[in-house]
Copies of this chain bind each other. A is one copy, B any other.
Amino acid sequence: MAKQITPRGENYSQWYNDIIKKAGLADNSAVRGCMVIKPTGFAIWENMKAQLDKMFKETGHVNAYFPLFIPKSFLSKEAKHVDGFAKECAVVTHHRLMNDPNGDGVIVDPTAKLAEELIVRPTSETIIWNTYRDWIQSYRDLPLLINQWCNVVRWEMRTRPFLRTTEFLWQEGHTAHATQQEAIEEAQLIHEVYARFAEDYMAMPVIKGAKTENERFAGAVDTYTIEALMQDGKALQAGTSHFLGQNFAKAFDVTFSDNNNKMDHVWASSWGVSTRLVGGLIMTHSDDDGLVLPPKLAPTQVVIVPIPKPNPEIMEVAEKIAGQLKAAGIRVKIDTDEKKRPGFKFAQYEMEGVPIRLGIGMRDLANNQVEIARRDTKEKALKPVEGIDRYIADLLVEIQSNLFNKAVKYREDHTSETTDFEEFKHILENKGGFIKAHWDGTVETELKIKELTKASIRCIPLDEPETPGKCILTGNDSKQKVLFAKAY
């Protein structure tokens, strides 16, 4: 079964698609660019969602729900927003079907044309700020710290499962504040939450930074991003948090009276992560034998396989161990399927990325031991049944940290620094990864570099000290190094 995956070295893109198919994460659908998220893939997203939701609530946010549809005219109100962004979208023009008088199918009822077309939300700043106008009168109504979990649609021409799909699932936070400082701090707080989630739960190291003007969200004053590095040396933008200034408040006329009864426009942030994270998770850890999942997000953390098949003695021990693990909050399942053989099951769980496999055979039982196999290192070991719950709990922590360290190591090995443009191109062509280099701060140079090399500025890293230098392309003065990479 494992042999059915194309190795990364042979064709990375095919490897990715193979894993998604063989591990049962997603499927193409009958609708161009839209995927079906299968139960195993969706369970990963559910775990991500549960943890992020907890982190949002712990930082004072609440959930709400705003309409799927946005009146077309709303999209024109924030000029940069529509120019940059809101063009490729699904447009609803009619609200009724009728039986085709010439056949047995259905057709769109031409009399049911909408007076104003509705856009399926590509993001919800416009409809939400139109709503906030009614909710905000005074500083007492602020801050609003609202998030929503929903689906959005962007009509993408080239799609890839999880990484870029026409419809995707995400969360979008939209906050309103009385002061500029508070809105900036909110955007930064969530930036930090995203980074913590990526590193502590996804075991995916990220670089925190600010986007250049050219790469900013359309309508934002500042965009903060977390950037991860995939195993093919390409960067993945994994989450963004925007300080929106008063742009949307002005476009939708949202004002408030401060505690001196002075009127001002409201300050805003917005921020989002999406099912794209599932793609990032797959590409950060998986190998040529299939999916590898960090224990904290794995739908099943431990699978117990009776060998060669269940019998009363084996099941008694299996259930006892499963009970202990469940009591410790570990997600465990016992595979009691008698239609499949152990070898098939082993390959299947390896493919699905279950972090720990626990095998129990009759000979093991006689020796009061079980076989423990780690998915990350492929190591196997016989361990005493006594105390196995503590051993496994520790091992899950160890696997989580091993995956993170391995990913950090990969990123370190694939982060270069250069002052020479020829070397810059050489690195991109041969080794890939992040390149730190000086840039003169102009959009023109940024675009020229992208045209010549396909590398974009992923971010201006927050922890990068301002050290003067010369731009890698133009030789003009540069204030600090920025992070380049080819990106998804």
A75-115 Cβ-contact flags toward B at 8 Å (1 or 0): 11000001000111111111111100000111010000000
Confirm or deny: A117 has a beta carbon within 8 angstroms of a beta carbon on chain B: yes
Confirm or deny: A467 has a beta carbon within 8 angstroms of a beta carbon on chain B: no
Majority-rule SS of A interface residues: mixed
A97 to B81, CA, bound (A): 13
Confirm or deny: A127 has a beta carbon within 8 angstroms of a beta carbon on chain B: yes
A74 to B153, CA, bound (A): 21
Q: Which among B35, B38, B91 is the interface contact of A97 at CB below 8 angstroms?
A: B91
User: In the bound complex, do residue B95 and residue A93 qualify as a contact, i.e. CB atoms below 8 Å apart?
Assistant: no
Q: A88-B96, A150-B151 are in contact. Are A118 and B68 (CB under 8 A)?
A: no
* Residues from chain B with Cβ under 8 Å of A95 in the complex: 88-91, 155
Q: How far is the CB of A146 from chain B (nearest CB, A)?
A: 7
User: Which B residue's beta carbon lies closest to that of A106?
Assistant: B76
Q: Which among B30, B68, B94 is the interface contact of A34 at CB below 8 angstroms?
A: B68
Q: How far is the CB of A142 from chain B (nearest CB, A)?
A: 12
User: In the bound complex, do residue B94 and residue A65 qualify as a contact, i.e. CB atoms below 8 Å apart?
Assistant: no
A113 to B194, CA, bound (A): 38
Confirm or deny: A405 has a beta carbon within 8 angstroms of a beta carbon on chain B: no
User: In the bound complex, do residue B92 and residue A90 qualify as a contact, i.e. CB atoms below 8 Å apart?
Assistant: yes
Confirm or deny: A131 has a beta carbon within 8 angstroms of a beta carbon on chain B: yes
Size of the A side of the interface (Cβ < 8 Å), in residues, is: 65
A132-154 Cβ-contact flags toward B at 8 Å (1 or 0): 00110000100000100011010
Confirm or deny: A37 has a beta carbon within 8 angstroms of a beta carbon on chain B: yes
* Residues from chain B with Cβ under 8 Å of A67 in the complex: 29-31, 34-36, 167
User: In the bound complex, do residue A29 and residue B89 qualify as a contact, i.e. CB atoms below 8 Å apart?
Assistant: no
Stretch of A39-47, A205-213, A378-386, A439-447 lying at the B interface: A39-47
User: In the bound complex, do residue B150 and residue A66 qualify as a contact, i.e. CB atoms below 8 Å apart?
Assistant: no
A17 to B98, CA, bound (A): 34
Chain A contacts with B in 115-133, Cβ cutoff 8 A: 117-120, 127, 130-131
Confirm or deny: A169 has a beta carbon within 8 angstroms of a beta carbon on chain B: yes
Listed by A's residue number, 25 A-B pairs whose Cβ atoms lie within 8 Å are A27-B135, A29-B127, A30-B71, A30-B74, A31-B69, A31-B70, A34-B67, A36-B67, A42-B63, A43-B62, A43-B63, A45-B65, A67-B167, A69-B90, A69-B167, A72-B97, A72-B106, A75-B97, A82-B97, A89-B96, A90-B94, A91-B94, A92-B93, A93-B94, A120-B120
